[in-house]
Amino acid sequence: MPEITGFSFPNDIHVTWSLMIVMYPYITGFVAGSFIVTSLYHLFDRQEFKPVARLAMATSFAFLLVASLPLQLHLGQPQRGPFVIITPNFTSAMAGFGILYSFYLLVLVLELWFVWRQEIIDRARRSRGMVRAFYAALALGTYDTSPEAIEIDHKAIKILAGIGLPAACMLHGYVGFIFGAIKANPWWSTPLMPVIFLLSAAVSGIALLILIYQLFARIDRRPVVATCVSALASWLWFFLILTITLEELELIVMAYEKSESWLIISELLTTRLSFSYVTMQMIVGGLIPFILLAVVVLMNRYLHERVRNTLATIAAFLTLIQVFSMRWNIVIGGQLLSKSLRGLRSPYEPEIFGREGVLMAIALFVAPFVILWIFDRVLGIEEPEGAGGHGSPPAGQASAGTPAVTHVP
Amino acid sequence: MSDCHDGCNGSRREFLSGTLKLAGGAVVTVIGGAALASSGSAAGTGAPLPGGGDYDWNEHLWAYLVDTTKCIGCGSCARACKAENDVPEGFFRTWIERYVVGMDDSHVDSPNGGMDGFPPVQVGFVATKAFFVPKICNHCRATPCTQVCPVGASYRTKDGAVLVDIDSCIGCGYCVQACPYGSRFIHPATHTASKCTWCYHRITKGLKPACVTVCPTQARQFGDLKKDGDPVRAVVEHDRIQILQGHLLTEPQCYYTHLDKEVR
């Protein structure tokens, strides 16, 4: 039995939303965050992101494929999971999941197809037998790579990116809404919640790309493009500042208002969540990467490439911890607090094995990388040598349409 | 079908499953009520139901009333609830809270939900008053728990009870989070949401909820707001009454008299 400080309503001592509900926003955060990065290139023509644009899109896809699994694993009656889509109750924020998820999946798959179309056709032409049939099926029977067709591809990619960006933001902002719209829980109930979730999604997506871009480059023995890393670091800094500002703003308003719940929330943060909130979310995952990224951004021109990459990598790793801590502190923290606003239960310790355990959470985090590896084998993530950028403007418009390459967001 | 079947006797369960064969909770809500109204006496054993066998949920609007000055903290209600509804260990459909209050401080507890009564307590301040507060699902009219249910398994009946259709509940736990009163839990055996039903299997047969029946001091009362001369209706209509967490605008149908400011 968990220990209670103060008085909790007797049913409030159970943590109903487990580690899986921490993993769910963490994973969808990568979906949205990676898509933001790929959109910076495909939609906003930020050329500095070209080296990671395809990787970002594939990452978003890989994480999207596992995004619904933590929810499914959490359900008490998993076989009834499809009821959410078949018989949705539209007054429930949760009922929107099926629609948002399917819509974003559709847009993303379409965009992936247009971005990888030439690659698919090339592979279909190069291969024989069953493999050829596979790629021919993926190409949907069209082998048109004429300049006109490529031009149409570019337009389609741009339009889909334009639809995909708000769809990805909705998919993740909505996760924040699920918590933010629970008036019973003062630690969750704030209109800032969807915004905080969205900004931290951008943080986690960019941080993850900094890590896997360098990792993949090292595996493939390719050079890391310095402007790309410093641009990613700049945007990571930007979103980290916004995220932490809003996370703190929420608390400051609560404290300054001396709201009814502040007494118990301040106790929650300084006792039960002192490690995961103060130490991990604010200092290790917040302040330290803020300083490291400040060095990368403000002293960019003086830094040796290796130093810059190392600083950015450490900062990215720490911000991934920051975002995980934030998810943990929201989801679990909100359940340590009783709705009596008089009591806190002892910290929640997830099981190791089992459907909602730590090993499953690790498996869920690793699964997208396996999907990425398969994706790379089937379609190739890295752009083939000499190929033009899929999102780059057609010849003749380049100088007019492309903003100057810069690191500062 | 509905959560009330946890403790229902066989007749109504057989009746519902036999005559309706329906899955969706919302469908049961609408059609089940109509079917019950038209052919209630055909249920199960064929014996007439205590309520006359012609229960029509359009004719009732149930309400619960607690007079906190009458509660002696004996825990009979919580024990009766557990026995009647087979409530699992460590979870509560109803419980009693003890408040010991002084000018500068207060102490609240509910050992095992008050099921075993309350042992003496020592507080580190000068206590000036002490009282018990029975708690139960508030069966709110504007309840957030049914609002957030993604599949409509949680629903409010026409006679004002908030129930769970355990055959369509997916066990997501969103309703548990949304209830401001801590009235809901995920049943460890069925893995679906569970809560107080006002003993729906009893009240539809003209009986009172188990907790009301066993209360030795009538601290807990149950009544019908649609019935003239109903004592609960009279109090709700004419006396000063309070509700829990009124600022959340959930419109509870569980009313309190003589509630203290310490109670949330």
Residues 341-360 of A with CB under 8 A from B: 341-342
- CA-CA distance, A154 to A176, in Å (whole number)? 33
- CA-CA distance, A59 to A67, in Å (whole number)? 12
Q: How deeply is A197 buried, as exposed, middle or buried, from its count of CB atoms within 10 A (0-12, 13-18, 19+)? A: buried
Residue B36, pLDDT > 50, answer no
Asked if A146 is an interface residue toward chain B (Cβ–Cβ < 8 A), one would say no
Closest chain A C-alpha to B50 CA, distance in angstroms? 33
Beta-carbon separation of B144 and A183 below 8 A: yes
Q: What is the per-residue pLDDT for B237?
A: 96
Beta-carbon separation of B248 and A1 below 8 A: no
User: pLDDT tens-digit profile of B68-102?
Assistant: 999 999 999 999 999 999 999 999 999 999 999 99
Closest chain A C-alpha to B167 CA, distance in angstroms? 9
Residue B2, pLDDT > 90, answer no
Type of residue at A366:
V
Closest chain B C-alpha to A177 CA, distance in angstroms? 12
Beta-carbon separation of A342 and B264 below 8 A: yes
Per DSSP, helices labelled H in chain B are 10-19, 25-27, 33-39, 76-85, 144-148, 174-178, 200-203, 210-214, 231-238
Residue A399, pLDDT > 50, answer no
Q: Which has more confidence, A115 or B16?
A: A115
N-terminal to C-terminal alpha carbon distance within chain B: 32
User: pLDDT tens-digit profile of A240-287?
Assistant: 999 999 999 999 999 999 998 999 999 999 999 999 999 999 999 999
Residue B50, pLDDT > 50, answer no
pLDDT, chain A, mean: 92
Residue B149, pLDDT > 90, answer yes
Q: pTM for this one?
A: 0.88
pLDDT, chain B, mean: 86
- CA-CA distance, A370 to A62, in Å (whole number)? 8
Cα separations in angstroms, A135 against A64, A109, A115: 23, 15, 15
Q: What is the per-residue pLDDT for A387?
A: 56
3-state secondary structure of A315: helix
Cα separations in angstroms, B241 against A141, A399, B253, B259: 73, 74, 11, 9
- CA-CA distance, A281 to A273, in Å (whole number)? 10
Closest chain B C-alpha to A89 CA, distance in angstroms? 5
Q: What is the per-residue pLDDT for B25?
A: 38
DSSP A407: S
User: pLDDT tens-digit profile of A155-170?
Assistant: 999 999 999 999 999 9
For residue B60, give every residue at least 6 positions away whose Cβ sits within 8 Å of its Cβ, in sequence order, or none. Answer: B159, B160, B224, B226, B227
Residue A148 pLDDT class (50, 70, 90 cuts)? very high
Q: What is the per-residue pLDDT for A404?
A: 36
User: pLDDT tens-digit profile of A312-357?
Assistant: 999 999 999 999 999 999 999 999 999 999 999 999 999 999 999 9
Residue A2 pLDDT class (50, 70, 90 cuts)? confident
Angle at which helices A147-180 and A19-42 pack, to 10 degrees? 150
- CA-CA distance, A365 to A59, in Å (whole number)? 12
Asked if A2 is an interface residue toward chain B (Cβ–Cβ < 8 A), one would say no
Q: What is the per-residue pLDDT for B53?
A: 67
Closest chain B C-alpha to A335 CA, distance in angstroms? 8
> Which of these, A49, A100, A77, lies nearest to A235 by C-alpha position?
A49
N-terminal to C-terminal alpha carbon distance within chain A: 50
Span B42-63, average pLDDT: 67
Asked if B197 is an interface residue toward chain A (Cβ–Cβ < 8 A), one would say no
Q: What is the per-residue pLDDT for A141?
A: 86
Residue A386 pLDDT class (50, 70, 90 cuts)? low
Beta-carbon separation of B110 and A76 below 8 A: no
| Length of chain A counted residue by residue | 409
Q: Which has more confidence, A227 or B4?
A: A227
- The chain A residue lying nearest B193, using CA atoms, is A76
Span A140-151, average pLDDT: 92
Mutation target to probe the A interface, by most A beta carbons within 10 A, among B116, B148, B186 is B148
Is the ipTM, as predicted for this complex, more than 0.85? yes
For chain B, the farthest-separated pair of C-alpha atoms sits apart, in whole angstroms, at: 61
Q: Are A41 and A53 in contact (CB under 8 A)?
A: yes
Q: Which residue has the tokens 């049961």?
A: B28
Residue B23 pLDDT class (50, 70, 90 cuts)? very low
Span B170-196, average pLDDT: 97
Strand extents, DSSP E, chain B: 62-67, 94-102, 106-109, 127-136, 154-156, 162-164, 185-186, 193-194, 220-224, 254-257
- CA-CA distance, A201 to A28, in Å (whole number)? 8
Q: What is the per-residue pLDDT for B1?
A: 42
3-state secondary structure of B206: coil
Residues of B with Cβ-Cβ distance to A7 under 8 angstroms: 97, 108-110
Residue A390 pLDDT class (50, 70, 90 cuts)? very low
Beta-carbon separation of B144 and A84 below 8 A: no
Span A60-81, average pLDDT: 96
Size of interface A-B (CB pairs under 8 A): 127
Structure tokens at A28: 């969808």
